[in-house]
Every structure is written in C-alpha cells, then in structure tokens.
C-alpha cells in the first residue's frame, strides 16, 4: 500500500486527543507530524497536550508549534468544554519530546515541496497555520492535494447561532483556505453532531483496558456530561469524524459545493456560507460532508482503539 503523506493540524483538546490516537492506527496514512495552533486553549497548552498524547501512545512523530493567536483577532477559547488545560483537567505524564525550531507554516511548505502535490492536510482546529502558509508561500496551493477540515456548517452554529467554533476563532484564515484553490472537504456540525458515541459506547472503549483506551474514557467524561445536560444522545466526536472521513469516506455522505466564510457583520462572523441548499450555484471549491452511518462510525473507532 502506498501510504498517503499527511499532516494533522490541531488545537489539542479532548476530541483532538482522541483523533490523534485514532490516526496513529490508520494504515492508509504516513503521518508526518502534528502542527499545533491556539484554539480550544492557548498555544503552549495545545502543543504540550499533543506531545503528551504522543508520549501516551508511544509515537515519536514530531510536533511543530504554530500560531499563538488568529491572524487579525484576539484568541477565543473553549475552556467550558475542554477545561483550563484542554484535557478536561486530566494531567498526562510529562514528555521527553522536543519541539523543533521551525514554525508550523514553514514546515507545511517544506513538506509540500518534498511531496510535490501528494501531501494532504487534516486540520481539526482554527485554520490560522494554513492561512499564514498560504499568505507566505504563493505557490503552496499547487503543492497540496486536498485539505480535510473539522469546522463550519451549512446549517447551525455552536459558538454563535451562525458560526462553528474553529471557523469563528479565525474566520479570515478560514476564508483564505477556502479561496486557496486547494479542494477543501468540510466536516462541519452537519456531520460531526451525528458522529457521536453514547455513554455506554464510551465505557466499552474504556473496557478495552489499555492506557490509551482508559484515557479515552476519562477525557470524554466532561464533554459527554455537557452533551447529556443539553439533551444530546452522546458525545459528538467532532475531530475524529474528520480523521475517519479522510481515511474512508464510504460511510459518509458528501456533496460538492461552493463555499466561503463570512468575515464581517456582528451576527454572522465565522459563518460558512455554502450553496448546498440554494438554487444559485457558485463555482465549486470544495465538498461538504452531511451524514454518517453512526453505527459503522462507532465500529471504526473501537476497532482502532482495540489496536493499542
């Protein structure tokens, strides 16, 4: 099998940590590195969390530090979901990993040059690193095969009525990515809210008994309890949904669309605007994922966690 070279760009909080554990076991991918960005919590915490998760799963891939704040805006966090440390208060052991000196956006360009059009990016946090990379390196779009993101929505928002968190944090960077010319596959709230695990299913993962499986169960408890309090059936695995879509779209529903990001207007900043439900057809610049076979999704999650 020719494995796909991929970089995972993340703001490591709870579901990012789960996504890292899952992608580590996907045979389709040659995971080159993680790149960190400020999002769920501050950059130093997202970077350190990524390093600690890699230590937990005994992976030696590098982590490259990215942007500490959005391109034009102040940083907005999500500690009400992920806790002050980003991992729901769970303290993983310290790590011996060392962060290389090159920035995330420079590293992305370096690898894109190396792979000459074969590199894929899975971005599960705010898109600041990619936005900066496209600003700095004008030839970068022709060197990336595709970008799969967790972010946005063709319908609802979760940080405002109009906007999903990852896009809201840095809407200008997101719009740069959407307009880059690289095909963007958007795993937004339309799909990730359907990619949930129930309390019983999370317990079944924990019952596998390994350290990563037990961590999965423990770190999921805060978001799970929040979800149950607001009437949801379980914890939505937002970031893992993007990772699993990138590896195998067969259990998902995908539509080709035109899409942009609203960067102005106090009630609509961060809204991802698509032509999915309109009669007017824009020039297609990407794809939106709208549905998933939830049972098959859960089976993929537990199958991958069973490999630890």
Domains of the chain: 4-305 (3.90.245.10)
CA separation (Å) from 21 to 42, 125, 141, 162, 191?
21, 16, 28, 31, 20
Chain centre distance of CA 245: 11
User: What DSSP character marks residue 74?
Assistant: -
CB 186 within 8 A of CB 287: yes
Give the three-class secondary structure for 255.
strand
Please give the Cα distance from 134 to 142 (Å, whole number).
Answer: 11
Residue 96 has pLDDT above 90, yes or no: no
Residue 283 has pLDDT above 90, yes or no: no
Query: Annotated catalytic, 255?
Result: no
CA separation (Å) from 41 to 31, 75, 80, 227?
24, 9, 10, 20
Q: With cut-offs at 50, 70 and 90, classify the pLDDT of residue 141.
A: very high
pLDDT recorded at residue 246: 98
Q: With cut-offs at 50, 70 and 90, classify the pLDDT of residue 278.
A: confident
Range with the poorest average pLDDT among 31-35, 53-57, 75-79, 142-146: 75-79
CB 113 within 8 A of CB 135: no
CA nearest neighbour of 297 among 201, 223, 227: 201
Query: What percent of the chain stands above pLDDT 70?
Result: 100
Phi, psi of 15 (to 5 degrees): -75, -25
Average pLDDT over residues 133-151: 98
Average pLDDT over residues 173-202: 97
CA nearest neighbour of 125 among 63, 189, 170, 85: 170
Residue 22 has pLDDT above 80, yes or no: yes
pLDDT recorded at residue 302: 98
Q: With cut-offs at 50, 70 and 90, classify the pLDDT of residue 176.
A: very high
pLDDT recorded at residue 223: 95
Q: What is the 3-state secondary structure (H, E, C) of 267-305?
A: CCCCCEEECCCCCCCCCCCEEEEEEECHHHHHHHHHHHH
CA separation (Å) from 119 to 76, 108, 147?
30, 9, 9
pLDDT recorded at residue 298: 98
Residue 253, beta-bridge partner list: 291
pLDDT recorded at residue 282: 83
pLDDT recorded at residue 97: 84
Average pLDDT, the chain: 96
Strand (E) positions, 137-251?
144-150, 184-187, 196-197, 235-236
pLDDT recorded at residue 190: 94
Query: What percent of the chain stands above pLDDT 90?
Result: 92
pLDDT recorded at residue 265: 85
CB 190 within 8 A of CB 289: yes
pLDDT recorded at residue 12: 98
Candidates 82, 97, 238, 255; catalytic one: 238
Residue 32 has pLDDT above 80, yes or no: yes
Average pLDDT over residues 264-271: 92
């Amino acid at each position: 099998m020719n494995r796909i070279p991929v970089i995972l760009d993340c703001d490591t909080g709870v579901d990012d940590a789960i996504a890292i554990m899952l992608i580590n076991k996907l045979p389709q991918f040659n995971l080159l590195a993680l790149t960190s960005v400020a999002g769920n919590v501050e950059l130093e915490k997202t970077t350190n969390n990524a390093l600690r998760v890699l230590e937990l799963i005994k992976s030696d891939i590098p982590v490259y530090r990215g942007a500490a704040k959005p391109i034009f805006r102040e940083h907005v966090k999500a500690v009400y979901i992920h806790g002050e440390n980003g991992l729901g208060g769970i303290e993983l052991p310290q790590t011996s990993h060392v962060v290389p000196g090159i920035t995330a956006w420079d590293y992305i360009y370096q690898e894109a040059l190396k792979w000459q059009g074969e590199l894929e990016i899975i971005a599960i946090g705010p898109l600041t690193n990619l936005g900066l990379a496209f600003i700095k390196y004008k030839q970068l779009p022709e060197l990336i095969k595709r970008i799969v993101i967790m972010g946005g929505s063709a319908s609802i928002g979760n940080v405002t009525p109009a906007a999903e968190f990852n896009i809201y944090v840095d809407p200008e960077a997101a719009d740069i990515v959407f307009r880059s010319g690289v095909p963007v596959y958007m795993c937004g709230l339309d799909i990730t809210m359907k990619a949930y695990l129930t309390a019983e299913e999370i317990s079944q993962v924990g019952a596998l008994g390994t350290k990563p499986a037990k961590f999965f169960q423990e770190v999921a408890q805060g978001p799970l309890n929040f979800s149950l309090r607001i009437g949801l059936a379980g914890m939505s695995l937002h970031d893992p949904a993007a990772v699993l879509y990138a590896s195998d779209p067969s259990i998902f529903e995908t539509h080709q669309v035109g899409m942009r990001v609203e960067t102005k207007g106090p009630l609509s900043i961060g809204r991802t605007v698509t032509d999915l439900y309109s009669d007017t057809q824009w020039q297609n610049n990407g794809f939106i994922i709208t549905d998933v076979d939830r049972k098959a999704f859960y089976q993929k999650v537990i199958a991958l966690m069973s490999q630890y």
